[in-house]
Amino acid sequence: MFVQVTGAAREVTGSCYLVEVGAARFLVDCGMHQGGDREEALNFAPFPFDPAELDFMLLTHAHIDHSGMIPRLVKKGFERPIYATPPTSDLAEIMLLDSAYIQENEAEWRTRKARRAGRREVEPLYTEDDARRAIRLFRPVDYGAPKELAPGVTVVFHDAGHILGSAFLELRLEERGEKVKVLFSGDVGQPDQPIVRDPEIIEQTDYLIMESTYGDRLHVRDGEPVDELAAILAEAKRTGGNVIIPAFALGRTQELLYFLREIFDKHQLDMPVYVDSPLASRATEVFRRHREAFDDGAWKLVGEPGGIFDFPQLHYTASADESRALNEKKGIVIISASGMAEAGRVRHHLKHNLWRPEAHIVIVGFQARHTLGRRLLDGDKQVRLFGEEIAVKAQIHEITGLSAHADQEQLLAWASHFKPPRLTILTHGETVAAMTLERLLEDRLHFAVVVAERNEIFELEGGAE
Q: List residues near Zn ion by CB under 5 A.
A: 63, 65, 187
CB of 190 to Zn ion, least distance (A): 11
In terms of Cα–Cα distance, which of 422, 421, 429 is closest to 211? 429
DSSP-derived secondary structure letter, 124: P
CB of 451 to Zn ion, least distance (A): 16
How buried is residue 267: exposed, middle or buried, by Cβ count under 10 Å (0-12/13-18/19+)?
middle
**Nearer of residues 63 and 397 to Zn ion, judged by Cβ:** 63
Give min distance, CB of 360 to Zn ion, in A.
28
How wide is the angle at C-alpha 146 spanned by C-alphas 143 and 150, nearest 5°?
Answer: 125
For residue 422, what are the contacts with CB-CB under 8 A and spacing of at least 6? 206, 207, 448, 461
- Taking the complex as a whole, the smallest distance from the CB of residue 428 to Zn ion amounts, in Å, to 6
Q: Between residues 16 and 182, which has the closer beta carbon with respect to Zn ion?
A: 16
Shortest distance in whole angstroms from residue 69 CB to Zn ion: 13
- Minimum CB–partner distance for residue 43 and Zn ion (Å): 15
Min separation Cβ 121 and Zn ion, Å: 32
Nearer CB in complex with Zn ion: 90/187 = 187
Nearer to Zn ion, 65 or 216 (CB): 65
Q: For residues 123 and 168, what is the distance between their CA atoms, to the nearest angstrom?
A: 35
Going by DSSP bridges, is the β-strand pair 153-159/167-175 parallel, antiparallel, or unpaired?
A: antiparallel
The terminus-to-terminus CA distance of the chain in angstroms comes to: 17
Q: What angle do CA 74, 248, 75 make, to 5 degrees?
A: 10
- Give phi and psi for 149, each to the nearest 5: -105, -25
- Residue 73 vs 263, nearer CB to Zn ion: 73
In whole angstroms, the minimum distance from the beta carbon of 8 to Zn ion comes to: 7
Our CB check for Zn ion shows the closer of 307 and 365 to be 365
Nearer Cβ to Zn ion (68/307): 68
Write the Ramachandran bin of 165: left for phi over 0, alpha for psi from -120 to 50, otherwise beta: left
CB-nearer residue toward Zn ion: 260 or 426: 426
Q: How far apart are CA 257 and CA 310, in angstroms?
A: 9
Task: Classify residue 134 by burial, with Cβ atoms within 10 Å: 0-12, 13-18, 19+.
Answer: buried
Task: Give the pairing of strands 243-246 and 456-459.
Answer: unpaired
At its nearest, how many Å lie between Zn ion and the CB of residue 88?
11
The set of residues, in sequence order, having a beta carbon less than 8 Å from that of 144 and lying 6+ positions away, is 156, 157, 158
Nearer CB in complex with Zn ion: 156/188: 188
